[in-house]
Structure 1
Amino acid sequence: MVGQRQTVAFLGPKASYTHQATLECFDESVYDFAPQISIEDVFQAVQSDAAHRGVVPFENSTNGSVVFTLDLFADLPNRYPDILVCGEVYIGVNHCLLGHAQKLAVTVSSGSGSPESSGRATPTTSAPNPAVPRTVPLMDLKHVKKLYSHPQAWGQCKTFLSGYLKGVERQDVSSTSKAAELVAQDTGGTSAAISSRIAAKIHHLDLLASGIEDFPDNTTRFFVLRKASADASAQSSDSENHIDTNMDEDMSRYKTLVSFTVDHNDPGALAESLAVFKPYKLNLTSINARPSGIVPWNYIFFVEIKGRRLEKDGAVNAALKDLGDTAKGWRWLGSWKSEL
């Protein structure tokens, strides 16, 4: 329909970090935003044409890759054969502890800890000098009996949690904003969420602590997803699938994601598959592995390289042709402009 607004699906609810990433990429006055409950729901929305684009978290600078997203790219049940990455965005992540204030804490000097704790975890043989959190609680945390957040957040806030909330029950939820929503519904007031400052405003929660991430430059990378045309799953090369038609000397400005499997009984199969990129001077920027789901202790590998797939010829196409000779199977998952 002419003039119909296109939809962008993202991991919701609103106020999630993925929502912030979506706002960075798309103009809300032009697109309809559709928050989804899970990352898989975003994949499904794009695959089914319910959404023109999708935005999902892929990797965090502190805690590594988002395994939920990797597993969906692995796509063992073959539910999302047409999903491609067409863009990326980096969002700085400033985690806060949100909840219900009980009483004000006694003022403490910066970096010295709260009245109840120094913030330093108990020394052990393996960690005789544990780190001290970068921040101190703004309020007393004795009443907090349960924590909610996305699984990635635990690993990004390990020092603060070990120093001030060690032993408190943790509950994984689909997003940090969902965590804030659940805490807002807690009439007992004994739960807290690792979430964003904007989520505190939306859900009318108190800021119990701010900047609780381990590193000040904590950043998450998000992928923008699109659906390929009907023949893209057969690895065709056409402009409709965003395979560029022009040679570009500065290939370092672009990235490409590829997945592949190897014969685990063939010595050197993985090394040979990774080596196909070197003759074409394609720099591997990351490699991940996930269980194949077919044979125990067999894996599907993901490599990200600098460069983009062109319509004809080009270094990436040549390397992928060689990969077909060394790997059991491979799949091009998209090429896009680097925003790093």
Structure 2
Amino acid sequence: MNEPVAYLGPRGTFTHEATRALFPEDHTLHTPCDSIPDVLTAVDRGEFPYGVVPVENAIEGSVTLTLDWLVHHVDVPITGELIYPIAQHLMVHSSRAGEPLSKITRVLSHPQAVAQCRGFLRENLPKAVVTYVDSTADAARQVRDHASETWAAIGPFMAHQLYGLQLAAQQIQDYENNFTRFIVVGKEWAHPLVLPESRKSSLLVALPSDYPGALYKVLQSFVEEGINLSRIESRPTKKKLGTYHFFIDAEAELSQSGMERALTSMESWGCQVRRLGSYPCHSYQTLNKARVDNTSWEAYNHR
């Protein structure tokens, strides 16, 4: 029986694309949710064994709603990661194919997508009104449903396909190396076909209060064990001004002896350490290659 996967919907978003890459559709049932909290809460309650949400973008930084919900509202492990290339496209109703961009009066999209294309909009659509909507897919749907309006949507290639829109401009993001990091939460997980490129662990560390040099000591604990940290970020504890949790990604398994010693050392002098999970890491390029070479999804499904 195919297991269900909850993801930040609706269909036609980048999270939908990432979910399809991580969980081939012949093996799982993809269920869109309205918000990041909906996905994480559904997994936390056991309604879904897996969930997929964005956690970080190379241009706009962390998705703070994901981080804060993981800290304050749910207790779900991180069990997978995908680095996904983000290509934003400008889409118009099919009846307006070929019209000059100057005729567009309104651009609809999710705030993150708009932020990734500010330069393009400033240069090519300076007079167009920007309207924020809940998702890139919702922007595409609204453009489809308002054929008489001179509107355009910003979103992924899949949205143009699902909603029958025309591409007015492609690859309009301001930076070429635009990637989003998606995480899988829930049950222990492994891709059915592709081995991970690496593995990492995520931690949440709360420092002891009034301890000079506490963050330095945290970092030194990893240095002494030869563990590389790929990311460290602070988020408010929401308890007192000036107090923070630290999200840390380490290039080591939680079960490795060096990691265990580092965490034991931090806990011994008052740090609170929450182990968010050790998990496989994938890139879209590797997963996509498996779809077009001799070991495609179809070959896997019929072996």
The verdict on how the C-alpha distance between 1:316 and 1:174 changes in structure 2, with shifts beyond 3 A counting, is: farther
- Between the aligned partners of 1:96 and 1:163, the Cα distance in structure 2 is 15
Q: Which of 326-335 and 26-35 deviates more?
A: 326-335
CA contact (8 A) 2:97 2:168 kept: no
- Between the aligned partners of 2:222 and 2:12, the Cα distance in structure 1 is 40
Structure 2 counterpart of 1:206: 166
Is the partner of 1:282 in helix, strand or coil?
Answer: coil
Structure 1 counterpart of 2:58: 61
Structure 2 counterpart of 1:31: 28
Is the partner of 1:86 in helix, strand or coil?
Answer: strand
Asked whether 1:258 is paired with 2:252, we answer no
Asked whether 1:163 is paired with 2:157, we answer no
Structure 2 counterpart of 1:236: none
Structure 1 counterpart of 2:289: none
Is the partner of 2:101 in helix, strand or coil?
Answer: coil
Larger Rg: 1
The verdict on how the C-alpha distance between 1:6 and 1:104 changes in structure 2, with shifts beyond 3 A counting, is: closer
Is the partner of 2:26 in helix, strand or coil?
Answer: coil
Amino acid at match of 2:239: I
The verdict on how the C-alpha distance between 1:92 and 1:187 changes in structure 2, with shifts beyond 3 A counting, is: same
Asked whether 1:44 is paired with 2:5, we answer no
Any idea what the Cα deviations from partners look like across 1:211-243, whole Å, max 9, x if unmatched?
A: 00122332212111115xxxxxxxxxxxxx79x
CA contact (8 A) 1:89 1:223 kept: yes
The verdict on how the C-alpha distance between 1:103 and 1:5 changes in structure 2, with shifts beyond 3 A counting, is: closer
Structure 1 counterpart of 2:299: none
- Between the aligned partners of 2:147 and 2:90, the Cα distance in structure 1 is 18
- Between the aligned partners of 2:209 and 2:127, the Cα distance in structure 1 is 41
Asked whether 1:176 is paired with 2:173, we answer no
Q: Quick one: percent identity of the two aligned structures?
A: 32
Amino acid at match of 1:329: Q
CA contact (8 A) 2:104 2:128 kept: no
Structure 2 counterpart of 1:92: 85
Displaced runs of 4 or more, over 6 A: none
RMSD: 2.3
The structure with the largest helix share of the pair is 2
Q: 2:74 aligns with which of 71, 76, 80?
A: 80
Any idea what the Cα deviations from partners look like across 1:193-212, whole Å, max 9, x if unmatched?
A: 21012211211223221100
Gaps of 5+ in 2: 190-196, 284-303
Structure 1 counterpart of 2:224: 279
Write out aligned runs for 1:1-340 (5 A).
4-75=1-72, 79-81=73-75, 83-100=76-93, 102=96, 104=98, 139-145=100-106, 147-166=107-126, 168-186=128-146, 188-227=148-187, 253-263=198-208, 265-310=210-255, 314-339=257-282
Give the superposition deviation at 1:63: 2.3
CA contact (8 A) 1:86 1:223 kept: yes
CA contact (8 A) 1:269 1:326 kept: no
Give the superposition deviation at 1:102: 4.6
Give the superposition deviation at 1:259: 0.9
- TM-score, length of structure 1 as denominator length: 0.74
The verdict on how the C-alpha distance between 1:88 and 1:150 changes in structure 2, with shifts beyond 3 A counting, is: same
Give the superposition deviation at 1:15: 1.6
Gaps of 5+ in 1: 106-138, 228-240, 243-251
- Between the aligned partners of 1:90 and 1:334, the Cα distance in structure 2 is 17
Any idea what the Cα deviations from partners look like across 1:7-57, whole Å, max 9, x if unmatched?
A: 111111112111111111112122111111111111012111111111111
Is the partner of 1:55 in helix, strand or coil?
Answer: strand
- Between the aligned partners of 2:110 and 2:242, the Cα distance in structure 1 is 27
CA contact (8 A) 2:2 2:29 kept: yes
Amino acid at match of 1:68: L
Is the partner of 1:217 in helix, strand or coil?
Answer: coil
CA contact (8 A) 2:98 2:168 kept: no
Q: Which of 162-171 and 38-47 deviates more?
A: 162-171
The verdict on how the C-alpha distance between 1:169 and 1:297 changes in structure 2, with shifts beyond 3 A counting, is: farther
The verdict on how the C-alpha distance between 1:327 and 1:34 changes in structure 2, with shifts beyond 3 A counting, is: farther
Any idea what the Cα deviations from partners look like across 1:224-279, whole Å, max 9, x if unmatched?
A: 1115xxxxxxxxxxxxx79xxxxxxxxx9321111112245332222222221111
- TM-score, length of structure 2 as denominator length: 0.82
